[in-house]
A and B are shown apart, each in its own frame.
Chain A
Amino acid sequence: MLLINCPWCGPRDETEFHYGSEAHIAYPEKPEELNDEQWAEYIFIRNNPKGWYAERWVHTASCRRWFNVWRNTINHEFGPSYKPFTKQPSRPK
């Protein structure tokens, strides 16, 4: 059971959250100008690194806010959480 730090509510149990996969993948500004491959890349393709990963979570059961967080996929260690549209903290060591 992960303990996830919501930027608004503080550390809370994983059961209150939903996962949102990789962070910083924006909806394309002009989807109609993308070719099929680029559009498929946006919809289906995500990184799956070993180590630190910037990902999205939403605090569904509480403040219902989306945020980003660094997580180490090897040992589930968490780095800093940060609000959407704020500067991304540097990758933890």
Chain B
Amino acid sequence: MVNLKQFRESPLKGSKLGSKSTIYLQEKPFATTLEIRVKQTSGAKGKIEKVLKIKLPTKVGSTFRNKDFTVLTLGPDWWMIVGATTNHEKLIRKSTGSQFVSIVDTSAQRTFIEVSGKYAQAVLEHGWENDLNVQNFPGGSCAQGILARTPVIIYYGPIGVYHLYVRASFAQHLWNFLTDAATEYLAK
């Protein structure tokens, strides 16, 4: 069996920049994701939660995290499960049977940039128009929006670390923006 991983190339080739004391940017490539669409009222929702041992939170912008998965609630019937693969898709399909669920493997659709360090919030605020104040966007929040005119999902995970999910075609543009926005902080 050929190990296919050797043939993969991520949009930013694992780029990193900066230091944790100011601002640190790093591509964390090859995260796997499934996008799930299911109505809140559907019995299938509970079956998915049971089979993957996760929660699909009801409120848009809220998240669930365990050691295997990070679940981001992107819409009232729309979740992105980071860490899930097509094997999990099979498990879900088996458990939900004929009940209607949309499951799409979008692993290569986006790449993932981690933004951390003392000035992480300041750097993001140069392009992200939504509120990042911690009282309004506490740890464990996510939001989908526009950063540097690019569609981005921001997940605010462990304190001080932002996870940016960006569509692969925009990744280099976003990286260029972030490194430019970081310039002044890196010089500190």
Contact = CB atoms under 8 A, between A and B. Distances in A.
Q: Do A and B form a real pair?
A: yes
Interface of A: 8-10, 12-13, 15-16, 61-65
Interface in B64-114: 74-76, 78
B144 interface: yes
Contact of A8 (B60, B129, B130): B60
B146 A61 contact: yes
Given A16-B145, A16-B146, A63 B130 contact: no
A12 B145 CA distance: 9
Contacts of A63: 60, 74-76, 78, 144
A8 B151 CA distance: 18
Given A8-B60, A13-B130, A15-B129, A61 B151 contact: yes
26 contacts: A8-B60, A8-B76, A9-B61, A10-B61, A12-B130, A12-B145, A13-B129, A13-B130, A15-B129, A15-B146, A16-B145, A16-B146, A61-B144, A61-B146, A61-B151, A62-B60, A62-B75, A62-B144, A62-B145, A63-B60, A63-B75, A63-B76, A63-B144, A64-B75, A64-B78, A65-B75
Contacts of A62: 60, 74-75, 143-145
Interface residues of B, number: 13
Interface string B120-157: 00000000011000000000000111100001000000
Contacts of B146: 15-16, 61
A9 B129 CA distance: 14
Nearest to B75: A63
A15 B130 CA distance: 11
Contacts of A12: 130, 145
Interface string B156-170: 000000000000000
A64 B60 CA distance: 11
A41 to B, nearest CB: 33
B3 to A, nearest CB: 37
A8 B40 CA distance: 13
Interface in B21-68: 60-61
A89 B75 CA distance: 23
Given A15-B129, A15-B146, A61-B144, A9 B60 contact: yes
Contact of B76 (A15, A61, A65): A65
A62 B130 CA distance: 11
A73 B175 CA distance: 40
A64 to B, nearest CB: 6
A11 to B, nearest CB: 9
A13 B145 CA distance: 10
Contacts of B143: 9, 62
